[in-house]
Structure formats: structure tokens, C-alpha cells
Amino acid sequence: MHKWIYRPIVEGQASRQAHADLPAGHVERELGKEGFFGPSTQMIHPRPPTGWTQWEGPLRPRAFDLAKLGAAASPWDAHDILHNANVRMRWWMCERSMTELARNADGDELLFVHAGSAALYCDYGHLAIEAGDYVVLPRGTMWRLDVKTPLALLLIEATNGHYALPEKGLVGEQAIFDPAMLDYPRLDEAFRTQASLPGAWRVAIKRRQQLSTVTYPYNPLDAIGWHGTLMPVRINVRNLRPLMSHRYHLPPSAHTTFVSQRFVVCTFVPRPFETDPGAIKVPFFHNNDDFDEVIFYHAGDFFSRDHIHPGMVTLHPCGFTHGPHPKALGKMLTQSKPATDEYAVMIDVRDALDVGDAASGVEWQDYHRSWQGEAST
């Protein structure tokens, strides 16, 4: 594979380098294909392109406060947040240990642990999980959680699909995280102890959003060994090492953590700000006209957003321009501290998302006004 030499057109007053050296007092807006993976053009404007004064119709930026949602006993009772034919995002407050096993026959499941800690038991063994962990559960895995401290989890189902690692190209396989950092379940003493638990065990299997229950007269998590390359894996956001450029603000695609068939999962973690005087130091305004963008805010100070706290989710549907809020835009070229302090999960989805009833019930209705600093939370 090779990329032919090409030369983008520069028309009017524009920088020859994207995301840097803008005409004084102006802002940049990027129009792109295939999220941030395809061809793009950077427009230069005299004012922020989020200066709307009124919004009519359903295509608007939306925000939801998941912290207001209640607990559920099973992952299949978790709150439905956003979904389409290829991905389903649910929010699960799990306060007590599971009394039956779960098995997702609709697709791979990605658990992001927002808060709490637990022991996860599955076909493959025992794995301790805690806040900040991603856990990939292959489709069909039987599992349950033994809660240590109450959990809050974002569940991201790759419906009829699977998770894989992104192609890392020029930066090599060890970029962002070395695959050797992926932990896997072990057939340890804790697993052997739980395998001997007496009594009947039920397995709740989800397929096409319907549940079937299979009952065993023994604990089916009783493997004595396994060999292969298909397994659950875990990595914590603290172990991610973000790609950085001191002279150029990298797009979210540089922080891709997992990929599926019609969406990607990216992770924002603390990193130094760009130090080149001409480089913009906030996310650039952009039209993501091929993807819906979802961000779950996990921890820290979300430097590009106002009035957002941990446990919230934003949805920016494709079809309109968005970017930093006014407070962040004031620091476009000069930041008051050397580095970001945020952890967030971004899901970029190729097909339009529907909003679940639970999310609609905890929506910040005036989020679309927050770029004008008028919205009340």
C-alpha cells in the first residue's frame, strides 16, 4: 500500500497547515469524510460557527445525565441510552452481586467501569475489575459479577459484530497501548472456589432483545483449562499512552482504542497541551457529516465543555457544526495549565442513533443553547 503525493488547494485567507497559524482573530471549521479518517477541508471563519440563536427540529446536540438513573439487578435490565442496528449503549448501576449468569448472543459486549469494583467470573476464569477498566466480553461468553463496591457501568454492545484493535500504521503495534498490557481471566483459586458453589444456576441469554433462561443443576463456570486466542480482555484507561504532537492538535481518531464494524471507540486521557505558539489547543470546530458522535464523561475537568460533569453523555448527530464551548474557545491559543485533566469515552457511529426512553427522561433540554452561555443545567 502507498499514498500518492497530492497537494490540497489553498484558497483565500487560510493557513497552509491545518489546525495551526490561523489568520488572527479567526477560527477554523473542518469538513470531513468518514469521521476523521477520510479527506477533509479546513474553512476559516471570522466568528464561531456555533453562533445560532434559535434551533427548530430534532437535529440538535443533546446531553443526558446518567447519574440520575437508578439501579438494576441484571445487565438485561440496564437503562437503554442510545442504539441503532449495529450498536447499543446501556447504563447499568449494579449494587449487588449477580445471582444468575448472563450471556449476550447479540454481539460482543464492551464494559466500561465508571465507578466501583467487582470480581468478574466467566467461562475463561476470574478477573478483578475496577473504575477505569474496559472489559471486552466476546459474544456468547457466560459471566457474572461479584460486587465489591457498587458499580456504574457503560455497556456498549457491538450488535451482530465484534471488537478488534485499530490499525496503528506508521506508529507501530505498541502505540497507545502495547497489546501485552491486555489482562485476561485466570483459572485461579477464586475461580475454582466459585465453580464449586452448590445448587442450580440460571443463565439469562439475550438474543434479538429477547431473553431465554437455561437452568443447570450445577455451576456451568467450571472449566479446568483452555487454549486459544479468543478471550475476554481488560485494560484500564490509566494504562493508555496517547499519541501527541506539540505542534498540531490531533483529531479524535488518533485516540481510537477499539473498532467494530460500523463504529469506533476512542479514549481521551490526560496529555500535555500543544506548545507551538501557532497551534490551536482545543478541539477544532468540525462537521462530522458521516458519523454520530457520542462522548461519555468519566472523570476530570472536561476542558472543551461547559456545565458537564462525570456521568453525563453528549450526542452530536451528524449534519451540523460543533466544537468547543465559549469558555474553552477563549483558550484556543494559550492554556493556563500545561496539560489536560480528563478521561472520556467517545463512540463514533456510522449510522444514526435512536435515543432510548431512559436517556430521554434525564435529558438536559437546553444543551443546544450552551454554546451561547445561556443554558441552565
Torsion of CA 271, 137, 223, 101, to 10 degrees: 120
The verdict on whether 2 is a catalytic residue reads: no
Q: Can you give 116-166 as a three-state secondary structure string?
A: EEEEEEECCEEEEEECCEEEEECCCCEEEEEEEEEEEEEEEEEECCCCECC
| Sequential DSSP letters for 78-90 | SEEEEE-SSEEEE
User: Is 83 annotated among the ligand-binding residues?
Assistant: no
Q: What angle do CA 22, 25, 28 make, to 5 degrees?
A: 45
Q: Where are the beta strands (DSSP E) in 34-106?
A: 40-45, 62-65, 79-83, 87-94, 101-104
- Please report, as a single letter, which amino acid is at residue 323: G
**Residue 347 in 3-state DSSP?**
strand
- Please report, as a single letter, which amino acid is at residue 129: I
User: Is 286 annotated among the ligand-binding residues?
Assistant: yes
H or E element, residue 343: strand 341-349
User: Is 307 annotated among the ligand-binding residues?
Assistant: no
Query: Under a CB-based contact definition with an 8 Å cutoff, are residues 256 and 156 in contact?
Result: no
| Sequential DSSP letters for 150-211 | EEEEEEEEEET---BPPP-GGG-TTSBS-GGG-B--B--HHHHHHHT--S-EEEEEEETTEE
Q: Which of 83, 249, 298, 368 is catalytic?
A: 249
**Residues with a known catalytic role:** 249
* Binding region for Fe cation: 286, 292, 322
* Binding region for homogentisate: 322
* Binding region: 286, 292, 322
